[in-house]
Structures are given as structure tokens and as C-alpha cells.
Amino acid sequence: MTPRSWLASYPKSGNTWFRLIVANLDAEDDNSLATGSSGTPDLMASARAPFDDMLLLESGLLTHDECAALRPLFHRAELMQDGNGVFRQEAERPHSTKMGYRLTKTHDAWSYLPDGQPVLGGAQAAGNAILMVRDPRDIAPSLANHMGFSIDQAIDFMNDPDASLSGRRHEQTLQLRQLLMCWSEFNASWLDQTSIPVHCIRYEDMQEAPMAAMSAALAACGRAVDTERLRRAIERTSFDTLHKLEEESGFAEAYRGRRFFRRGVSGAWRDELTRGQVKRIERNHAAMMDRLGYEAAFYSEF
Amino acid sequence: MTGIQILPDTGKGLSHESEPSRFSHFYRACALNIASTISLPSLLDIDTRDALVDVTIVNGQVPDTLDIPQVTVGPNWELAESHFLLKIPNIGKFLIRDASRITFQPAPGLPPEELSAFLTGSVMGLLLHLRGALVLHGSAVKVGDGAVILCGPSGAGKSTLAAALGKRGYAMLCDDLSPLFEDPEHGMRVHPDGRRHKLWDNAVEALDLNARRGEGVRTQMHKFHVAPVATISHPLPVKALYELHKSDNGEIVSITRASLLDAAAIVRRNAYRPRIMRELGQQAAYFSGAARITQTSGIFVLRRAMNFDHLDQVLDCLEEQWATPAFPKAGNAK
């Protein structure tokens, strides 16, 4: 099996929480929270530095499209290194890393280059994917906080078919451009691609029944899980713990000083969004909400 | 070649090959005299026409593969001792032979000028690695009688910070790659990379450097060569090295002195292309080079809010540290 799983999600859908739980599966000490790779933006699929280092070029001299064209090559090559990070002609063997495979976070929609290749490199770059989804009505206020948007701007962004992260043309960020598309299209792109199997996990189910949701997701990436370890890892990464941790020492993925772990509550949209905002999100994303099991509050009205 | 040659290559130099007239552009960068068939607007105009040439840059045919034994074939590159082939689809191919002769071939339809920034960037950095130089991925400015190096990955804000310091009167030594050479008399010194700043137009605007803005680094990009306010043409000892980070807790700026153990790791991980060091098996030599820098310089981690609104506060904080008596050894970390 290709020794990698993508952990894909639209931003603010619980990707980081998932990775923290995984990082804590291997933690020996019961009391401390292992943050593992979660605080390391370098380990995102779109990180610029590993891309430059693998391909020995300056991505800062390439356009976004030129970088995208090189990403399949890069993502496949990532799996062709020995334990010292030296390039090898043959692919990395599974179990050569501590976890036995890589779990790589990505906010990239599953998109294709003009020549038909998937930007993320297809089945040679990952064996499978976990797609984390969350109620878009809860994403909107969280995204607004994360990006410094008003809630209405966040709703517009979530409805923009051309939306991207790090996609500006006048500055260079630590990440390469990530094409997001709109919230519905993002999720559809992953659910409907046929290159690799995808397991969908809902943020709400992670909150409701974390043991069952995590066990199923980890099993989908071929990972056997010790129930007791998983229980401890989930306990260690409770939202209150993460919120407190961020208060004390900050969190690397926070955007321009804003809070990363904000509320983490499901259904909070009921007191954070106006009626009009709720309607707008539901109208924009009715079909995908329905597909993912999110019930519209104003369904009868459209 | 697995060892690091700390001394700059001041050997016999290359001849101007069989057709000296082919070379119309002459530069000095990274302690090397360069003769090129195309203009390299990244580099400052330092005419070294009469000096011995260390490196030649020629527009010509580049093969698709290095036809030599013991070659490591990467995803878009091939490496064998002092030879290197880099292929960037839709941009072009670059060949380095004997760590001194560069040939480039633009992709069909692309004007050669589009490749100049790659030649003076990655290709020059790779050539220096092949020559066994200790090359850091960093900008450098002159502070007092020494050099302060600002390190970090692409996008970390090195050039912007160096240009902002330039506006405060700190002469520029290096824009993006800082080559270090050691000699018995002076110890470890940073040599000028002979570059102009490369800045995105938002940085040019924010730093009010429009008047110094030159050509774009490529036609399609909003990134420009910007003439430094002042430059230094001679090497300087390393006074301090800062690894740049984005602050992650809303703090505007903090400077932390690295422990001895962390300091060596910081120097190593800020190699221009760590992969080349690994592929060439140069880690041990890099390790000892890193140790020598940490013995004589201050190694710090600089965390700051990455926006232009707070840039002045970041510069103030640095200047305050530099004004501390006995900096860098005794300078307080903020």
C-alpha cells in the first residue's frame, strides 16, 4: 500500500484536532499533550519549503500554475526517500516511519492539471484519504474569526468557486496556492474522485462518538488501533485542553495572531448567525448539506 | 567530493574558453568571478572583465540526462559528484559541469532572459554547494564591523527585512544566499552575493522603494529587482544569525538566544539546499562549519508578526539588541 493518507478538509473542519489525536496515540506519557506534527505547517501538502528542497528550485520564481504543474512529481517523490531524507529510486516501504505511514494534512480540493493529472499525484502519492467535513453553518463563524473576515465575507468566500488559500499574486507565503473552490465543490471533489478510496468523517460525529469515529477512520487508512491508547489520546486532546494550551503558549497555525481553537461547539451557529445568513448558506449548499446529513433549518422556504 | 572546502576557489580560474567574445556580461558574486552570455539583472554591475573567470554561464544545448556513472537521479534532477542537471518543465534545463561551467537551455518559445533569476538563484546556490561551500539560505546586512544573517525558508520574509534594514542605513551584503568561507587570517566570513533585492510589489510599496524598483524577475510575476540603498563589496565576519519565524501567539516581536545545541541545529537546517548536503554526504563537514559559526557569533530565533504594520517595531527591537554593549555575546535577548 502507498504509505500515505491524505487528511483533507475544508478549513476549520477539525483537521488539526484529528491530527492531534493521532499524534497522541503514540505518546508514552499519560499526562502531557503531544502536539506532534500538528503545529508544523511544513507537514502540510502545500508547504513551500519541502517542495523547494525536493525539486531543488525556488518556487518563488514560479507562478501558481507552474507550481501546481510540478506538484504531482513532488508528491510522488516525497515517498521516495530513505529514513535520512536521501532520495531513492524505489518508493519508500510502508512502516519505514514510526507511524508506518504518513498522514498529510491538506486543504487542497482534489483538482486536475490541464493534462488530466491530479494535482495531488493520484494513487502513487497516497493510498487513501480521510475527508473531514463539518456543518457549513458552524464553519462560517469559525472561518470568519480565522481569516479576519466578517461572517458575511466568510459566507461569500465559502460560496466562491475560485476561492483559494495563499493564492495572491503580490506576495509569497510559506504555503503554495491551495485551490479550495466553494465548500460544496471542495467536498464533492474528494468524494467523487476515483483515484483513491476516501473515508468521510463528520466533525459532529467526532464530538458525539469520538471512539467510533476515530476507529473507523484509522481502520480506513489500514491502521490497527489499540482501544485504550485511543481513549487516552482523545481525553488528552479535549477541546478545553487545546483551548487552554493555546491561551498559554499560542498555536502555530493561528492566522495573524487570531485565536485558532475558538469554540469547537457544534450547532453554535444558532446563536452566531442571523436568519438571513443561515438561509444564504443553506441555499448555496443545499445539495451537499443533504448529502452529508446536515439538515437545513429553512428547507421549506426554498 | 564529500569534504567541505572552506577556502574560496582562487585557483587558476577558467579560461574564457575558445571564444572570449561570447561573454558579454561579467559579475562578481559569492566570491566568484562570473562570465555570462546573457544579462543577469539580479546581480549588481561589478565588471570583472579582466579578472580570472571562476564560473561561466552559456546558453546552449543541455542533455536530458547526465551520461556518467554513479549518478543519483531525482524527480527533476541528476547529481554526480561535481556535475548537476536540473530540469524545470516549461522553464528550461540547467547543467553544471565541474562545479564551474553552467549551460542553460530555455524551454521552447521562452526567451533566455526568463531564466536569469533561476541561474543566479537555485543554480548558483547548487553550484556553491557542489564546490563545498557552506551556503546559508539567508539575507545578510552589515551591522557594525560584522554581518548579521537573517535565515529562513522561502516566504519567511528575509529579503523584506533586509530591505527594510537597508532603509535604516544597514548596507546589504546578501539577498537570499549567504556563502561562508573560512580563511586562517579572518576566520569564517560571509561573502557578498552580489545581488539586488528581490521583492514582491506589496513589499516595494510598503517600504516605499518604488524609485529603486528595477526589472521584474520574470515577465509574468509581480516580483522585482530593487537596488539596495547601500552595498558592501568585501566579506565580513559573521556577527549574528537570526532564524525568522512568524509569531504564533499574537506577540509582535521576540528574540530568543539559542542554546548551544539548538544553535548548531539552526545553522545546519538553514543550509541553502539541505537536500544537496544530504545527497553529497556533506553533513559532517557542515556540522563542523556550523559549530565554528556558533563559537564566534550569536545565534537567535526571531519571532514576529508578519505584517508591514509592525515592521518598525521589529526593526527597533533588533537595533536595540545590536546597541547592547558586547553584542552578540552578551546582547540581551528580548
Instruction: Give me the residue spans of the domains in chain B.
Output: 20-130, 134-322
DSSP state of B166: H
Write down the CATH number for the domain with range B134-322.
3.40.50
Q: Do A170 and B201 touch (CB under 8 A)?
A: yes
Regions of chain B where pLDDT drops below 50 = 1-13, 15-18
A258 contact residues in B (CB cutoff 8 A): 250
| Nearest in space to B186 (alpha carbons), one of B328, B4, B3, B7 | B7
Q: Do B73 and A89 touch (CB under 8 A)?
A: yes
Integer Cα distance of A200 and B125 in angstroms: 44
Burial B1-10 (b: 16+ CB within 10 A, else e): eeebebebbe
Q: What pLDDT is stored for residue B188 in this prediction?
A: 86
A172 vs B: CB within 8 A: yes
Can you give the pLDDT of all 302 residues of chain A as single tens digits? 678 999 999 999 988 889 888 888 876 655 556 655 444 445 799 999 899 999 999 998 999 999 999 999 999 999 888 777 788 776 655 444 444 468 899 999 999 999 999 999 999 999 999 999 999 999 999 999 888 899 999 999 999 999 999 988 777 788 999 999 999 999 999 999 999 999 999 999 999 999 999 999 999 988 888 899 899 888 888 877 777 776 666 666 555 556 666 666 778 899 899 999 999 999 999 999 999 999 998 865 55
Nearest chain A alpha carbon to B153: A49
Q: What pLDDT is stored for residue A260 in this prediction?
A: 64
Q: Do A89 and B126 touch (CB under 8 A)?
A: no
> Is this prediction's ipTM beyond 0.90?
no
Q: What pLDDT is stored for residue B99 in this prediction?
A: 95
A114 vs B: CB within 8 A: no
Cβ under 8 Å to B: A residues 119-148: none
Q: Do A250 and B222 touch (CB under 8 A)?
A: no
Integer Cα distance of B321 and B331 in angstroms: 6
Q: Do B275 and A87 touch (CB under 8 A)?
A: yes
Q: What pLDDT is stored for residue A25 in this prediction?
A: 83
A170 contact residues in B (CB cutoff 8 A): 200-202, 222
Q: What pLDDT is stored for residue B334 in this prediction?
A: 53
Cross-chain CB nearest to B275 (options A54, A169, A256): A54
Q: Which grid cell is A163?
A: 476561492
Q: Do A56 and B122 touch (CB under 8 A)?
A: yes
Q: What pLDDT is stored for residue A275 in this prediction?
A: 94
Cross-chain CB nearest to A170 (options B222, B247, B279): B222
Q: Do B201 and A52 touch (CB under 8 A)?
A: no
Q: What pLDDT is stored for residue A35 in this prediction?
A: 57
Q: What pLDDT is stored for residue B47 in this prediction?
A: 74
Q: What pLDDT is stored for residue B118 in this prediction?
A: 94
Q: Where are the alpha helices (DSSP H) in A173-274?
A: 183-192, 203-208, 210-220, 227-236, 239-249, 269-272
Cα three-residue angle B41-B43-B47, rounded to 5 degrees: 105
- Which of the four CATH numbers 3.40.50.10490, 3.40.50.300, 2.60.40.10, 3.90.960.10 does domain A4-301 have? 3.40.50.300
